[in-house]
Structures are given as structure tokens and as C-alpha cells.
Amino acid sequence: MLLFEVDEDELVRRLSGRTTCDVCQRPFFGRSPGETCTEGGQTGTLVRRKDDEPDAIRKRMQVYQDQTSPVIDWYASHGANMVRVDALGTLEHVEARVHAALGISR
Ligand SMILES: [Zn+2]
């Protein structure tokens, strides 16, 4: 079992950086709400989901702490083979850590 760990500030940064086109539903990262999308020959506006607003993300993290982390503790105390993976950094860095955790050499 792999447990990807990212601190709350980084989660807020990643999730609040997501926007979606209100017409074609394409996801974007690093573009702001209100910007225009012209993919697919239609014009849409980028919007941020309400649950990706920073305050909502922090509430979601509280729910995670209250309801999900006890499940992780249960697995850990019942002998689950759980490896914690530092999920900060680039996709390539995290992928390399996953490979190392699984004993896969490239
Ligand atoms: Zn679009």
C-alpha cells in the first residue's frame, strides 16, 4: 500500500490552481478563473470548482484528518505493508520514489 504524503499548503496550491472550462470541461492548471478557453472551436470561461477554493480545501483536509487518517492508522497497526511516499516535487521525482518504494529499477 502506498501512502502519498503532501503538506496542506502544497495541496491548497495544487487544488486551488485547477480551473475547468465551463463549456468543454477541459481541466487547466496555472490559469486563473475568468480566463477564456477556445479549445474545440467554442469559447468558454475558466471556472474554479467551489470545493477547490482554499477555505473549502482546508475543510476537506479536516474531514480527511478526522475520517480517513484513522483508517490509515488501523491498517498500520494491523500489519499492512504500507510505504509512505513523499509526493512533493515533480512528477518525475515522485515517480522515482514510487519505483524505489516498490523495488522497481529503471
Ligand atoms: Zn473550453
Q: What is the pLDDT of residues 67-89, one digit of tens each?
A: 999 999 999 999 999 999 999 99
Cα 23 to chain center, whole Å? Answer: 23
**How many domains, in total, are found in the chain?**
1
30: left (phi over 0), alpha (psi -120 to 50) or beta: left
The model's pTM is 0.70
By the 8 A CB rule, do 13 and 91 touch?
no
Q: How many CB atoms lie within 10 A of CB 48?
A: 18
Report the CATH number that the domain containing residue 75 is assigned in CATH: 3.40.50.300
For 42, the domain range is 2-102
Q: Ligand 1 centroid vs 72 CA: distance in angstroms?
A: 38
Q: Ligand 1 centroid vs 87 CA: distance in angstroms?
A: 30
Q: Ligand 1 centroid vs 88 CA: distance in angstroms?
A: 29
How is residue 26 written as a grid cell? 477541459
pLDDT digits (tens, 9 = 90+) for 30-72: 899 999 999 989 999 999 989 888 889 999 999 999 999 999 9
